[in-house]
Structure 1
């Protein structure tokens, strides 16, 4: 997709006018950073950060067949969702590979699916393919709405003064519908992609700048910073959250990726169920954490070796700001996956010693 045809979030002009360095990501023009990735990363770990995540797809469903439709195309058991609960799920293809990972929201009026920006066309296509004459329709609300993430230990203190519902009672992976400024209908979910506590807000697109600036004003006393995609990636990486195109893809099955817990084979028929049953017995690979001895960074695609023989490949790697270590996630042969196993990573021709370490690399002290 060319820059001319890339989509812009409702906050694009704000990002550009406030020093955001803009890059193309998943078909959208997005800020990768404002100050430095490390400064923004630390703001979220220690205080609070603000992210524009309006590029994520938002799909709503109308009609009595919504639940059956969602169950048909996703792996988790959406029928078990209580009202105002959210579920991590996967959308598999017919071979058991992944079209996307997504969140399924159940609210008092029905269901909402949030998917990855670059996969939204494929998710929409899969939904259309398996509607099977349903008397339900889905609506792509991505361009009608904005989505903003407030992440970090002080997130609640920033959002609560603007919102008319009590956030203290909202549990992790739950949502509450209420009003910002006493008048603006808003969904606030206790979710995020940073490894920290926080909230994600869905608001009308024409109100995005107003909400964004109000959150920044509310967060002034808490050291809030606007943050870009760069910090979002280092934060999710330290928390070992998989990223589509890295730890997840059409060629990687959920059991190899370490998200097999989101596959409920017993729930009834769904797309890809039988191939997934076979993958559960033999995933073929395992996602592991690696710590390199040196500070060299192992990027996606770097070969993982054991005794000079390739046993896997890096999916994501960086120098982790919180942990001050060069870390990587990799898909390796099951025999090389045990914690403590000594391996090497080929970093641009240098065979760097590495050790298998537990995932996640980072877990917040107050994790639920």
Structure 2
């Protein structure tokens, strides 16, 4: 049976497609390429350019490919942007998921896995954060995802669509085999920005806020390697297929690193130095958030890449591969920029 991966040409969705292929599953990718890349989808994987809110399209694809499960990654994810464009975020993350769920119910899709976020917790009262913690999101991004989780629960109660919502903490790294990584232009993630600074692609790195109530004054986050996160999706899909109940799971390692610690790790791994500037804190950023992922561990998920230097190094090797690709494209303009150069 086929697994539809919405946003499967993006960073996390693309790694989940690889994880599905690695164990012999049959993925189908639907992506509008607003932030994803066609080159991220492996050869031979059915790929359709389109909007998850297009019910006619998604209904046709589900029926044509016999889709059994939907893994839903498509959406918007930048907290500061969501504050400036709340309606855009409620449209992309909530209303379009409403349309996709309509199709799932109408066509008899059995399982649904939602890409959610730790942003639903806001500024948590205790660390580490469990799935039963209060949900008090600080941004339209977090609220759009929380609304979607609540909608999923109601859909399950009414129609029996069993689902899992995975609340990601901070997703970093790249495929250890260098098949995929973060390639979105103008990405705002700390690892991506720091590594681009190390490569000289940025003049400096801004650290937003230096007086938080943390040991070094910078925000603390729980970083999870994207390949470990991809395997978490397989674990919850197996849970649903074996008759497991609808659940919410945190996805993190239970260990936090400050922004300053990450910057120092990037400098150590890359052997470079770059300018770091202090900037005002951004709206919607909690001081510290670290996961309690014990419920996910109980499913048999076992992190394999939960080391800061490993996460940085995998992301660094991917950035170097991208740099080689860009250099080659500049030398030979006949090479398509959508085709990665194999390092």
Please report the TM-score for the alignment, with normalisation by the length of structure 2.
Answer: 0.27
Higher share of residues assigned helix = 2
Please report the TM-score for the alignment, with normalisation by the length of structure 1.
Answer: 0.25
Whichever of the two has the greater Rg, that structure is 1
